């Protein structure tokens, strides 16, 4: 929304209560690790295992298809099982890729990088923000989800982390704000499921 201020210049009003992401994970996906000069997000064992199960099952089914092809002459069954295994394995690989990209704050280089957005100089980060939202599904239960974002002096807002473990996200936000020396703003509001 554009408004005219007292000087006659246009100013932009950004709604910081609006969530950035449409979805969010229902489980703790990452934990914050802070060292002397770096802070980065590391995927949790549970999140990685969730993805690895798909990859292992897909590999098993592809191996079973190869075995069926060698031992028996059931080409149609081998093709079906192999195709299904490849699809499940590919889905697991697709799921695990975002977990392998590390978002990190590097004090030596003075940048935040998440391999998705343009790098941000740490000196341009003015605050961190916690937001909440409800993920509504047509055929499933709705659930609360929280996101941690960084805000820059030029008005950019970049998502750092989101999941539904509110206490862990708040703790990570406090630790990260102390590491960066910036304010943590809380934009959570009362919402009903």
The residue extents of the domains of the chain are 26-102, 118-193
Give the count of alpha carbons within 13 A of 78, CB side only: 12
Predicted pLDDT of residue 9: 53
Distance of alpha carbon 144 from alpha carbon 193, whole angstroms: 7
The first and second tokens of residue 46, run together, are 């549970």
What is the pLDDT confidence band of residue 20, given thresholds at 50, 70 and 90?
very low
Phi then psi for 59, rounded to 5 degrees? -65, -40
- What's the mean pLDDT when you consider all of the chain? 79
Of 28, 18, 22, nearest in space to 169 by CA: 28
pTM of the model: 0.65
Flag whether pLDDT at 13 surpasses 70: no
Predicted pLDDT of residue 21: 45
Flag whether pLDDT at 173 surpasses 70: yes
What is the pLDDT confidence band of residue 8, given thresholds at 50, 70 and 90?
low
Predicted pLDDT of residue 140: 66
Per-residue pLDDT tens for 152-170? 888 888 888 877 778 888 8
Per-residue pLDDT tens for 71-126? 887 788 888 999 999 999 999 998 888 777 778 888 888 888 877 777 888 888 88
Phi then psi for 96, rounded to 5 degrees? -80, -25
Residue 50 neighbours by CB under 8 Å, 6+ apart? 27, 95
Residue 39 neighbours by CB under 8 Å, 6+ apart? 32, 33, 104, 105, 175, 176, 179, 180
Percent of the chain whose pLDDT exceeds 70:
79
Flag whether pLDDT at 39 surpasses 50: yes
């Amino acid at each position: 929304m554009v408004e005219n201020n007292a000087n006659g210049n246009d100013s932009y009003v950004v709604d910081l209560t609006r969530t950035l992401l449409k979805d969010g994970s229902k489980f703790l996906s990452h934990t914050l690790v802070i060292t002397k000069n770096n802070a980065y997000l590391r995927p949790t064992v549970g999140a990685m295992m969730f993805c690895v199960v798909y990859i292992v099952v897909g590999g098993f089914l592809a191996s079973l298809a190869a075995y069926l092809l060698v031992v028996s002459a059931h080409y149609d069954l081998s093709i079906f099982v192999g195709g299904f295994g490849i699809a499940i394995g590919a889905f697991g690989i697709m799921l695990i890729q975002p977990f392998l990209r590390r978002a990190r704050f590097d004090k030596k280089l003075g940048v935040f990088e998440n391999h998705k957005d343009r790098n941000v100089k740490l000196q341009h980060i003015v605050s961190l923000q916690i937001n909440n939202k409800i993920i509504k599904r047509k055929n499933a239960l709705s659930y609360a989800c929280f996101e941690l974002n960084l805000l820059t002096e030029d008005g950019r807002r970049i998502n750092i982390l989101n999941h539904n473990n509110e206490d862990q996200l708040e703790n990570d936000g406090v630790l990260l704000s102390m590491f960066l020396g910036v304010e943590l703003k809380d934009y959570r509001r009362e919402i009903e499921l």
